[in-house]
Structure 1
């Protein structure tokens, strides 16, 4: 079968889709990964066919409104004004993304898999094939077990289910009115519920793949049978990848260092973040590998023989060699830290990151969350020392790591997609 996979965003949004494409390819299927043009390097080493989409994230990466919104997680009245301004910037760019999606869809597919913020289900409707929704965070299918992790509010438990409506509203705000695109580009008729990615055109439930582990969630979630929590989708280091000799020498030159990195989304003051990290490492008396990503931490303040600075490094290779992982709580870094069985220090600042930080602390693999809005070098140094020195954190991290690795999420997701297409064929 031919599977068209639509993703769009930061590396953390796209890399799991590359992992699923790789699993589908290994199972004998044709997978096409359609995503931001600059992320083609995630597909090429694995022989995955790549289709570029317009990259709004690269365009907006230095926009002060975007940075300020991310820094505050859109809290309060100012945060809502920032969100409205962000939508005004997003919508014209998303129109270009949607047109690219339609052109790629013209090449046909037997199945469409997509992120919630991309209307891949409407491409599938045009092609007359099934669609599956791939969720990288638990913020899209309502549950009474916990409130929507994607919103920065504390809510009474009776409102847990209702809180998930905000995710759909957020997507609608980013996309704007897609009626013209549906009518003029996809040549589809108007129909009620066409924007609801959780429902097929006939009103039945859409297959949802949760690309994360059940161990991330509280117990007794009440997801329906059409939701499958497969485990994380891991993409191994490229087959021909070798570490830089300088990094290899640094790792061998002393005790295991700590890893520090705050992901691909930059805050408003990455230089300040760099100073906090540099001072925390000094206070903790640790060696450190600092990955700057796309600007979350500035390399400028970082220097000295006890710190190695890199732009990016495959986590599945690096994390087993460090003493602890200090990160922002994004799904990609979180999953790699879990799989490596390493204790964590999580410094969240947006979207589901506070939820992830709280869950990892509750699971016994991370210190108490350190929100970036109140982060200091002294707090970070103390948390690093505890993560490295507390044997209970290390033991629990190793136990949970073994469970995470056993899930084999991408292969499980590929098998579910095979069943979905086979079932669809039998009903036609």
Structure 2
């Protein structure tokens, strides 16, 4: 069993998760393990995932916001920066809905049983903005995430793909400020009107530099992306956190018969990504499979890929809602969007892979897969063609690529990311619980970098204020 200090009390823990299923699923795995230690865990996320969370035996509480709307925004704008004035309103509506639901998620009774709940600790991803809640309630906050968010000189922020290494560290500050300027009004309204805290004049006056001052656990394997040397002792790279849904999955008999008809297929799916022209993408996939002589599984996903094709070949199967940890070991290779969860499951299954990134961290994982020799260079969705996909499939089917994938899979299978995440949470808890609420008086003198960005933040707030 993972490290556990017997003096740690059984806590009521609010887990706040904003994002897609790929964000929610590893949190759910950690939530289940925390429950094994006797903690009372509530996972608060979008209503879209209510059934998913409850089916795992974890208390669900709804957060505002719709992950489909947010993914649509990111897909259209290829990242956070809006491409048109109307897009700003989309983000503002989503941000307000999320922020307005944070306090109830940490303090309201169980929505099914009515049992009282008051968070004694918060675990959140950065997009959930658990800072203000932790400050108001006087409870510890632990950041848990699948994407690098702590500033480093080793690589750029995934949402700001800076080409020059000199800008890597600053890219994290840029993204942090960009997000803060978009949500600061909602956060300050929450602080003043519901949490009875002073509003934040500038982000760095209160939260310093990004999340560097908070205990943070990153859920990926160090065999794929080692912890940078400039991340301090508050940061852990714990390993992938698997929920292991496949152990209880019973596939339909029609699916089993199709799998038994021939060689292992190529899996192709883009998860929660939305497609501008799903018919065109499906046609590219079908032609590439025909040219390479491969059987294929097309996962419909949120983009409804392949659903418009009525003349699907017999050696291609349309699929939806199948656990990847059951499916991927039965595939020869996989082609996907590069989401952290899909990448992790494919690596554990020993699958060579081609990543077709849309935005954000998908490019990072695509580059890491290429650098490790586990697949070809990533193919951005805008550059996906019959030729590029055919060449990628041919690359993945090389025996040496499969051998490298299997060697890495053995290393990942030995890791216990869920246990390491729970251990890190316990290790970073303060020695005294409950914590004293922080004084409003600040003795710290900001370092020059903090001072500079504090001034920039104040200037931008003045410019952006109505």
Q: Same fold (TM over 0.5)?
A: yes
Distance 1:198 1:208 in 2: 14
Among 17, 23, 45, the alignment partner of 2:27 is 17
Among 259, 264, 269, the alignment partner of 1:251 is 259
Q: How far has the Cα of 1:269 moved from its partner? A: 1.8
Structure 1 residue 329 and structure 2 residue 330: aligned? Answer: no
Closer, same or farther: CA 258–120 of 1 in aligned 2, 3 Å: same
Distance 1:283 1:204 in 2: 49
Question: What does residue 280 of structure 2 align with?
Answer: 272
Distance 1:59 1:361 in 2: 31
Distance 1:17 1:197 in 2: 27
Structure 1 residue 103 and structure 2 residue 104: aligned? Answer: yes
Question: What does residue 68 of structure 1 align with?
Answer: 76
Mapping of residues 301-320 of structure 1, within 5 Å: 301=309, 303-320=312-329
SS at match of 2:433: helix
The answer to whether the 8 Å contact 1:266/1:294 transfers is: yes
Distance 2:95 2:424 in 1: 30
Q: Which runs of 5 or more residues in structure 2 are unaligned?
A: 1-10, 108-116, 437-466
Distance 1:169 1:426 in 2: 31
Q: How far has the Cα of 1:55 moved from its partner? A: 3.3
What per-residue deviation string (whole Å, max 9, x for no partner) do you get for residues 150-172 of structure 1? Answer: 22341x22221111112213422
Q: What is the root-mean-square deviation of aligned Cα atoms in Å?
A: 2.5
TM-score by length of 2: 0.83
The answer to whether the 8 Å contact 1:262/1:296 transfers is: no
SS at match of 2:314: coil
Mapping of residues 372-387 of structure 1, within 5 Å: 372-387=381-396
Q: Which has the larger radius of gyration?
A: 2
SS at match of 2:231: coil
Distance 1:182 1:426 in 2: 21
Structure 1, 172-181 or 2-11: larger mean CA deviation: 172-181
Question: What does residue 92 of structure 1 align with?
Answer: 93
Q: How far has the Cα of 1:66 moved from its partner? A: 5.3
Q: How far has the Cα of 1:196 moved from its partner? A: 8.2
Mapping of residues 228-239 of structure 1, within 5 Å: 228-237=236-245
Residues matched between the structures, number: 414
Question: What does residue 49 of structure 1 align with?
Answer: 59
Structure 1, 19-28 or 311-320: larger mean CA deviation: 19-28
Q: How far has the Cα of 1:423 moved from its partner? A: 2.7
Question: What does residue 426 of structure 2 align with?
Answer: 418
TM-score by length of 1: 0.90
Structure 1, 110-119 or 411-420: larger mean CA deviation: 411-420
Q: How far has the Cα of 1:427 moved from its partner? A: 7.4
Q: Which runs of 5 or more residues in structure 1 are unaligned?
A: 75-79
Structure 1, 244-253 or 395-404: larger mean CA deviation: 244-253
Distance 2:213 2:18 in 1: 24
Q: How far has the Cα of 1:219 moved from its partner? A: 7.5
Distance 1:165 1:194 in 2: 11
What per-residue deviation string (whole Å, max 9, x for no partner) do you get for residues 2-21 of structure 1? Answer: 21111122111211111111
Closer, same or farther: CA 258–197 of 1 in aligned 2, 3 Å: farther
Distance 2:334 2:306 in 1: 18
Mapping of residues 193-272 of structure 1, within 5 Å: 205-217=213-225, 221-237=229-245, 240-272=248-280
Among 386, 391, 405, the alignment partner of 2:399 is 391
The answer to whether the 8 Å contact 2:159/2:360 transfers is: yes
Structure 1 residue 113 and structure 2 residue 123: aligned? Answer: yes
Distance 1:168 1:426 in 2: 29
